[in-house]
């Protein structure tokens, strides 16, 4: 089985249970992104979904070899979770004119990790103390969200009014209904985040193929470009909700019809969740002015 099929099947398993993996990650980890216990590196893209959907209290993960290296062990019967990385290799190729040019090949690989709660014998001092993160008041949450929106680089004009929320690539504008028409602040900001993630696809920002038109028109409902861009925006909005401590469980549809629609798309394209998650991570890093760190790779 191909790596992308292994990863996609993990997501499909959750959808078949009626759980949308990009709707309910990380709350049990007190706001922290999953990271490797030994190297301290964070996991990115689809790995955040794969590791976040288990619901462990600690966000720290470790490979089997790393467990052995610290004289600990994995509890009997515990199952590993796969995480992906890109293996980049260079090779020389002779061009038509006889010259030699270096080419890069990227191959998707995976390895397995265990949460520290699946292990025994890890010395307590090796597990970092989790920061105490209190619940934000409503004004504090709104300030967090407003800060994200106002500090976005090259932010597109946001036009309020009407009954629809959408990003219009030709004009590079975001349209969203008036704030007062939303049932909650969570719905308002998650919707705005969704459209701002779409806007990162513009050529002057992240230059995403589906938005720029070089991979099809994402505004055509049901097209492959539409599915990839919509999933990118949904996952990206989830990441931003998590960052601003918005309870995104209140903002996503987890109906049977919704789950079935994504099941069909993921079954048709096993690479969809991987590329959409990577695009979402890049989009969010752009909005938050963070350095992109999407190439997961840990020693194992």
| 226-275 per-position pLDDT tens digit | 889 999 999 999 889 888 888 766 666 656 778 888 888 999 999 999 99
The residues facing 167 across adjacent strands are 174
pLDDT at 22 over 70: yes
Kindly provide the residue ranges of all beta strands, DSSP E only, lying in the chain, ordered along the sequence.
35-36, 60-62, 73-74, 81-94, 100-115, 119-120, 158-160, 166-168, 173-176
Given a contact cutoff of 8 angstroms between Cβ atoms, the answer to whether 233 and 194 are in contact is: yes
Given a contact cutoff of 8 angstroms between Cβ atoms, the answer to whether 10 and 84 are in contact is: no
- What was the pLDDT predicted at 246? 81
| Greatest mean pLDDT range, 63-77, 85-99, 216-230, 241-255 | 63-77
- Residue of 259 and 125 predicted with greater confidence: 125
The predicted-structure confidence for 40-55, as pLDDT tens digits, reads as follows 999 999 999 999 888 8
The predicted-structure confidence for 23-32, as pLDDT tens digits, reads as follows 754 444 555 7
| Greatest mean pLDDT range, 156-170, 199-213, 220-234 | 156-170
154-159 LR contacts (CB < 8 Å, sep 24+): 154/202, 154/204, 154/205, 155/196, 155/199, 156/196, 156/199, 156/202, 158/192
pTM of the model: 0.85
- In degrees, to the nearest 5, what angle opens at C-alpha 143 toward C-alphas 172 and 250? 80
Q: What is the mean pLDDT of the chain?
A: 86
- What was the pLDDT predicted at 9? 94
Tokens of 37: 């216990």
Q: Is beta strand 35-36 parallel, antiparallel or unpaired with respect to 60-62?
A: parallel
- Residue of 201 and 243 predicted with greater confidence: 201
- Residue of 33 and 41 predicted with greater confidence: 41
Give the separation between CA 152 and CA 277, rounded to whole angstroms: 20
Give the separation between CA 119 and CA 74, rounded to whole angstroms: 4
Terminal alpha carbon distance of the chain: 21
- What was the pLDDT predicted at 28? 44
**Residues in Cβ contact with 157 at an 8 Å cutoff, skipping those fewer than 6 apart:** 172, 173, 174
Domain residue ranges in the chain? 3-287
The residues facing 81 across adjacent strands are 113
Given a contact cutoff of 8 angstroms between Cβ atoms, the answer to whether 217 and 201 are in contact is: no
- What was the pLDDT predicted at 40? 93
CA distances from residue 253 to 7, 74, 164, 224 in whole angstroms, order as listed: 23, 36, 17, 21
**Residues in Cβ contact with 246 at an 8 Å cutoff, skipping those fewer than 6 apart:** 141, 145, 185, 186, 189, 190
CA distances from residue 69 to 63, 64, 133, 153 in whole angstroms, order as listed: 10, 9, 32, 44
Average pLDDT (174-196) is 93
């Amino acid at each position: 089985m191909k790596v992308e099929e292994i990863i996609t099947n993990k997501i499909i398993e959750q959808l078949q249970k009626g759980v949308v993996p990009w709707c309910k990650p990380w709350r049990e980890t007190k706001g922290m992104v999953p990271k490797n216990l030994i190297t301290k590196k964070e996991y990115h893209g689809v790995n955040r979904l794969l590791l976040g959907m288990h619901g462990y209290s600690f966000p720290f993960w470790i490979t089997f070899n790393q467990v052995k290296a610290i004289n600990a062990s994995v509890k009997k019967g515990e199952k590993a979770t796969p995480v992906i990385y890109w293996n980049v290799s260079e090779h020389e190729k002779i061009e038509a004119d006889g010259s030699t040019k270096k080419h890069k090949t990227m191959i998707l690989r995976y390895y397995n990790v265990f949460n520290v709660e699946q292990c025994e014998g890890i010395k307590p001092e090796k597990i970092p103390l989790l920061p105490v993160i209190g619940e934000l008041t409503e004004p504090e949450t709104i300030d967090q969200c407003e800060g994200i929106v106002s500090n976005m680089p090259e932010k597109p004009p946001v036009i309020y009014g009407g009954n629809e929320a959408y990003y219009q690539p030709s004009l590079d504008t975001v349209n969203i209904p008036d704030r007062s028409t939303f049932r909650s602040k969570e719905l308002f900001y998650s919707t705005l985040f969704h459209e701002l993630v779409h806007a990162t696809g513009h050529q002057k920002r992240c230059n995403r193929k589906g938005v720029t038109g070089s991979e099809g028109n994402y505004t055509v409902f049901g097209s492959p470009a539409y599915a990839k861009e919509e999933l990118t925006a949904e996952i990206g909005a989830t990441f931003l909700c998590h960052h601003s401590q918005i309870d995104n469980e209140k903002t996503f549809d987890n109906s049977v019809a919704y789950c079935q629609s994504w099941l069909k798309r993921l079954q048709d394209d096993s690479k969809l969740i991987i590329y959409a998650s990577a695009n979402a991570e890049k989009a969010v890093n752009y909005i938050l002015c963070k350095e992109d760190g999407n190439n997961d790779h840990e020693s194992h």
